[in-house]
Amino acid sequence: MKITKKITAVLLAALTMSFCFAGCGGSENSTSAQDSKADSGKVYNIGICQLIQHDALDAATKGFRDTLTEKLGEDNVKFNEQNAQGESANCTTICNQFVSSNVDLILGNGTAALQAAYTATPKIPILGTSITHYGTALDISDWKGYTEMNVSGTSDLAPLEEQAAMLNELFPDAKNVGIIYCSAEANSKYQYETIKPYFEKDGYTVKQYTFADSNDVAAVTTSACEECDVLYIPTDNTAASNTGIINNIAEPKKVPIVTGEEGICKGCGVATLSISYYELGQKTGEMAYDILVNGKDVSKMEIQFAPATTKKYMADRCKELGVKIPDDYEEIKSE
């Protein structure tokens, strides 16, 4: 009887250990399956339409590519990267080609690129980056923070109230603030309309100066410099591509410029409240992974923002224009 009990106990122990190992093995296999969801041999084809080549958009594209390559594996993702050279018509052609190729996801880097992608397809998931305001870009009147379309992405909008406060901190004695931007860029107009009341609240007279394209930049900048004490340029792709022209007019006239992003500041500004466009691209890449691998519904994904902002300045230009910078600003290093 005792022997029988001992045998029974041994058998029960063996069975228990067997179940434990089976359970552990099952858990390990389950984890392995989850970890290999992106390594199943699927090759993801990604179309990237970048509106124009300049530092900010280039950094966003790089952050996006680096993140997706790291998360999916170099052999599991292929990028078809196209630059539209600042032309909306080119964006349309590029995005239509992506649809014909049946890519798995489209990245629209810049407002016109996002709009072209959305017009080209109602089915393929689309992510935007370097977009100021999606409600404005996609003409959504009842903005909820997500699109309810096949579109989501990241916004490059730094807090406009804080940008206005920064200009006031640096130039409290200025009287006239000129805001210059491209009239063809809806998001630039949105920034103008949003930040103007903040400047007026601080007692400035605000004047608007718009150029239709690159051909008007010099004339518009000249008028603004002749009539204003300080200029403000929002995140604007046309301005970003013509900072040399703007600087060659503003600096000799001793008119300082505060900008909405670091790339424009580097080219013609004295200070900016800056985000990292590379980090913005990284966040967009993480969203793409969630769509492609984890099955997230792009239409319900909330628009994401850069994780932090930093006050930055151009030391040489500030010295040339006699602009005194507080200690909590970070210097933008010239390349």
Which tokens in the block code for residue 155?
């916004």
Domain residue limits at 111: 41-156+277-302
pLDDT in tens, 67-111: 999 999 999 999 999 999 999 999 999 999 999 999 999 999 999
pTM score of the predicted model: 0.76
* Environment class of 55 (CB within 10 Å of its CB; exposed 0-12, middle 13-18, buried 19+): middle
Whether 63 is covered by a domain: the verdict is yes
Beta strand ranges found along the chain (DSSP E): 44-50, 77-83, 105-109, 126-131, 151-155, 176-182, 205-211, 230-233, 257-259, 271-274, 304-305, 310-313, 330-331
Taking each helix axis from N to C terminus, what angle separates 160-170 and 186-201, rounded to the nearest 10 degrees? 50
**Together in a domain, 142 and 61:** yes
Residue 333 has a pLDDT of 85
Over residues 239-244, the mean pLDDT reads 95
Q: Given 3-state DSSP classes, what are the helix, strand and coil percentages for the chain, each rounded to the nearest 5?
A: 50, 20, 30
- Indicate if 67 and 168 belong to the same structural domain: no
Are residues 151 and 96 both part of a single domain? yes
Tokens 């790339």, residue located = 263
Residue type, 199: F
| Domain co-membership, 256 together with 112 | no
Please state the domain count of the chain: 2
In this structure, the number of other CB atoms found within 10 A of the CB of residue 311 comes to 18
- Regarding whether 266 and 165 lie in a shared domain, the answer is yes
For 169-221, write each residue's pLDDT tens digit. Answer: 999 999 999 999 999 988 899 999 999 999 999 999 999 999 998 999 999 99
Measured distance CA(189)–CA(66) in Å, rounded: 32
In a domain, 1, yes or no: no
The Cβ of residue 39 has, within 10 Å, a number of other Cβ atoms equal to: 13
| Pairing of β 330-331 and β 310-313 | parallel
Q: What is the pLDDT of residue 158?
A: 84
CA atoms of 114 and 46, how far apart (whole Å): 14
As a whole number of angstroms, the distance between CA 42 and CA 262 comes to 38
- Same-domain check for residues 67 and 100: yes
Predicted local confidence at residue 75, as pLDDT: 96
Residue 208 and residue 320 in one domain: yes
Query: pLDDT at position 229, please?
Result: 98
Q: What is the pLDDT of residue 29?
A: 39
